Amino acid sequence: MILVEPKPKDEILAFLQDERAIFIVACGGCPVGAEVGGEQKVLEMKELLESNGKKITGSALIEFLCNKALVGIHIGRHINELNEADCMLVLSCGVGVQAVANTVDKVAYPAFNTLPMRGVAGVWQSTERCNQCGDCLLYLTGGLCPITLCAKSLLNGPCGGTNNGKCEVDKELDCGWYLIYERLKRIGRLDLLKKYVQPKDFQKYIPSPQLRSSSLWALER
């Protein structure tokens, strides 16, 4: 299980400030196990956004967002609602946000932060990877994670060694920031590249004492 916690409401409202119509996508897997997901949480998020002047075009609760086959099947049933939306708000871990962003060409904003568990979680294996940094910034990068896609985990653009869209460290790999640029260009959001990302707070990488003493960390607790 991947453990997540909701982002502060003020942070969510801040990065949605310029968005008018929003489609909510929620994972029915790990967030439900962590008691921060499910239909009730979707309704609470809908109420929060509507009370702050946002239009919710629709919502979808999908069993496991890390399974892009499921995402494609379920999200296709909401094509009209998605077309009405300016963006998507995704209630899941970073893997789910990336899977949704790779399925629908709209900006995908993360409603949760993925918490560090010091190990690989048992999720549907695909190309999306989440580093569990505790402070998700996928809304700035078109749903592609620079920490996992960039060999150097750079947060504000590529290094000077990228060449023809390939990584300096491993020339068989696409440059993560080249992929991010192409994604943002495709969805018409190159303006997001102008936003400066502060250095990571590495305290958020360390599981808190409260988490380490809970059954979410180990069932024996």
Q: Which domains does the chain have, with CATH numbers?
A: 4-142+197-206 (3.40.50.1860)
Predicted local distance difference test score (pLDDT) of residue 121: 46
Q: Which parts of the chain register pLDDT below 50?
A: 119-122
Percent of residues, the chain, with pLDDT higher than 70: 94
Q: What's the pLDDT tens digit per position in 50-81? A: 999 999 999 999 999 988 889 999 999 999 99
Q: What is the pTM of this model?
A: 0.79
C-alpha distances in Å from residue 148, one per residue of 3, 23, 151: 18, 26, 7
Q: Is 18 left (phi over 0), alpha (psi -120 to 50) or beta?
A: alpha
